[in-house]
């Protein structure tokens, strides 16, 4: 039996993206695994972004295998005991090679890349592209929308509409030369309507991050946009290129089938089972 102690649980929160991606989606295809309840024991416990700290040690009664699942560079915030947690577990999983290399500096224990993947059964048919681009979309947590600020002048230059799908409105229209109601729409993030709202746009705008933590970030947003059938623009040149529907369709046709196969969450379940068996 495998149990997950999640970031959502530990911090008494709901709707956390990392918990949905790296736990809830896996549980749908992993009947032997479930969410930890206080006092339970298991053959393996997976701590999803749950760390040892001044006021928390791993359950003393628990003697099974222990895995730390990391998805963000939490050590950069200085609020968690990452090294102490790595010492207390048998293995670490993370979504990127950059994060893997960083954690490997702390330990000789297995540090395994298990990518952020998605429930392919929920993915609609990709959006077809046959018209000039009019609308772009960005999605994520509100505080990460700062990455869009340098792109606002290009959005204005091209006369594009902007959809923001986020937990709250980052009020990016304040950086535009146009009136908000001319081009800007905020949509509250909802997993059930995510693809529907994404496909209202012609392509996704996900600029390359410039902050220290961005080098560690997963490509999950890029993959999710492409699963919706939207090519991803990272630069001003990309934005201008994707005005052409032929360029957008070509971008999706090139790697859509491979992405749908490689980023099926059932592959993450398989990799996690293999890791547990190897410990």
Q: Domain boundaries in the chain? A: 2-117+265-278, 121-262
Q: What is the DSSP letter of 54?
A: T
Q: What is the three-state SS of 109-155?
A: CCEEECCCCECHHHCCCCCCCCCCCCEEEEEECHHHHHHHHHHHHHH
Whole-number pLDDT of residue 165? 96
Here the tokens at position 196 are 């529907």
Q: Say which CATH architecture domain 2-117+265-278 belongs to.
A: 3-Layer(aba) Sandwich (3.40)
What is the longest distance spanned by two Cα atoms in the chain?
61
CA distances in angstroms from 259 to 123, 184, 227, listed in the order given: 12, 30, 8
Predicted TM-score (pTM) of the model is 0.89
CATH-assigned architecture of domain 121-262: 3-Layer(aba) Sandwich (3.40)
- pLDDT, residue 59, reads 66
Q: What is the sign of the dihedral through the CA atoms of 240, 241, 245 and 249?
A: negative
Please report the pLDDT score of residue 23 as a whole number. Answer: 97
Nearby residues of 215 by Cβ (< 8 Å), 6 or more positions away: 98, 209
Domains 2-117+265-278 and 121-262 share a fold: yes
Helix (H) / strand (E) containing 198: helix 194-198
Q: How far is CA 59 from the centre of its chain?
A: 28
Q: Which pLDDT value is given to residue 244?
A: 96
| pLDDT per residue as tens digits for the range 230-276 | 999 999 999 999 999 999 999 999 999 999 999 999 999 999 999 99
Q: Which tokens go with 25?
A: 């989606």
Are 33 and 4 within 8 A, CB to CB? yes
Q: Which residues in the chain land under pLDDT 50?
A: none
pLDDT at 216: 82
């Amino acid at each position: 039996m495998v149990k997950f102690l999640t970031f959502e649980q530990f911090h008494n929160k709901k709707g956390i993206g990392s918990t949905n991606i790296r736990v809830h989606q896996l549980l749908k295809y992993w009947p032997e695994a479930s969410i930890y309840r206080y006092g339970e024991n298991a053959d393996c416990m997976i701590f999803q972004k749950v760390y040892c700290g001044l006021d928390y040690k791993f359950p003393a009664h628990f003697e099974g295998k222990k895995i730390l699942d990391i998805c963000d560079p939490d050590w950069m915030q200085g609020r968690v005991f990452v090294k102490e947690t790595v010492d207390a577990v048998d293995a670490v999983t993370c979504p990127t090679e950059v994060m893997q290399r960083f954690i490997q500096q702390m330990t000789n224990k297995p540090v395994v890349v298990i990518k952020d993947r998605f429930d392919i059964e929920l993915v609609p048919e990709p959006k077809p592209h046959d018209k000039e681009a009019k609308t772009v979309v960005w999605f994520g947590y509100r505080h990460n929308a700062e990455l869009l600020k340098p792109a606002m002048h290009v959005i204005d230059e091209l006369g594009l509409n902007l959809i923001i799908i986020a937990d709250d409105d980052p009020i990016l229209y304040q950086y535009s030369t146009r009136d908000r109601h001319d081009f800007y729409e905020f949509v509250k993030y909802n997993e059930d309507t995510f693809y529907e709202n994404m496909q209202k746009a012609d392509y996704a705008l996900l600029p390359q991050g410039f902050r220290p933590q961005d080098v560690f970030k997963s490509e999950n947003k890029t993959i999710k946009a492409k699963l919706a059938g939207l090519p991803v623009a990272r630069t001003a040149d990309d934005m201008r290129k994707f005005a052409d529907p032929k360029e957008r369709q070509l971008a999706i046709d090139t790697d859509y089938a491979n992405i749908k196969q490689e980023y099926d969450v059932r592959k993450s379940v398989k990799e996690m089972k293999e890791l547990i068996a190897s410990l």
